[in-house]
Amino acid sequence: MIKSELVQAIANRNPHLYQRDVETIVNAIFDEVTEALCDSNRVELRGFGAFSVKNRPPRSGRNPRTGEAVSVEEKWVPFFKAGKELRERLNRK
């Protein structure tokens, strides 16, 4: 599912809302999550999961084409851990 499909699904479930308003709400949520992660804060959505950032230290890697050693710089990456309710719903049969 892409963002436009998410907006459409929410708009279909809530016919009293305009699609442009739903799109504004979805964008605002994503912006807030992004800002919190940029500030190194953890974002927890109960029942869904938690977003956080993890540090990947610098390391030496290899160019897969040439086999040449290259240095990979330190970076921060987003990390998602699924919540208990989400895991249970995924594993129901």
The pLDDT tens digits of the residues spanning 63-76 come to 999 999 999 999 99
The domains of the chain are located at 1-41, 42-93
Q: What digits encode the pLDDT tens for the residues 12-60?
A: 999 999 999 999 999 999 999 999 999 999 999 999 999 999 999 999 9
Report phi then psi at 8, rounded to 5: -65, -40
Q: What residue type is assigned to position 35 of the chain?
A: E
What's the N-to-C CA distance of the chain in angstroms?
22
Residue 90 pLDDT greater than 70, yes or no: yes
Q: What residue type is assigned to position 8 of the chain?
A: Q
Instruction: Provide the CATH topology of domain 42-93.
Output: HU Protein; Chain A (4.10.520)
> Which of 32, 34, 33, 26 lies closest to 8 in space, CA to CA?
26
Three-state DSSP at 38 gives helix
In angstroms, rounded to a whole number, what is the distance separating the alpha carbons of residues 27 and 21? 10
In angstroms, rounded to a whole number, what is the distance separating the alpha carbons of residues 7 and 26? 7
75: number of Cβ within 10 Å: 10
Band the pLDDT of 93: cuts 50, 70, 90. low
